[in-house]
Amino acid sequence: MMTIENIKTTKVMLVDDSDTDLFINETMIKYAHFSENVISFTSPTKALEHLKSFNESTPLEEIPDIIFLDINMPLLNGFEFIREYQHLSKHVKDKCNIVLLSSTFNVNDIQKGSENKDVVGLIAKPLTLEVLNEMMGK
């Protein structure tokens, strides 16, 4: 498990096609005091559009520190999202840290995730208090 002690988590983005998982994860993030500023997307395309709206003059506090990204989504899966994400401005990518979320741990997903420099971790969903506390170094 990665620790994000050195990352000041002020803004979190959740990307998951499941409204239920988004609700659970957002609730847990706030309950754990991981972040009070959470933006959620059921559409990975809309999440990418949101990230593309940022440019070099965008204040850093408006850009997510962490993106919790579901791997298994229809139309655009987590890895396809990351492929598109790699075309975003350096200003955005330098601020964001992607954590992949999965309800199943496929060996190929683990390998793909670990090989990608934009991915800082892969964890089971839904998020739990224990996992968030561990990420915060508590």
Chain centroid to Cα 99, Å, comes to 5
- Terminal alpha carbon distance of the chain: 13
pLDDT higher than threshold 90 for residue 11 = yes
Q: What is the pTM of this model?
A: 0.90
Average pLDDT rounded to a whole number, residues 73-81: 94
User: Has domain 12-127 been given CATH number 2.60.120.10?
Assistant: no
Element holding 31 (H helix, E strand) = helix 19-31
| Confidence at residue 5, expressed as pLDDT on a 0 to 100 scale | 52
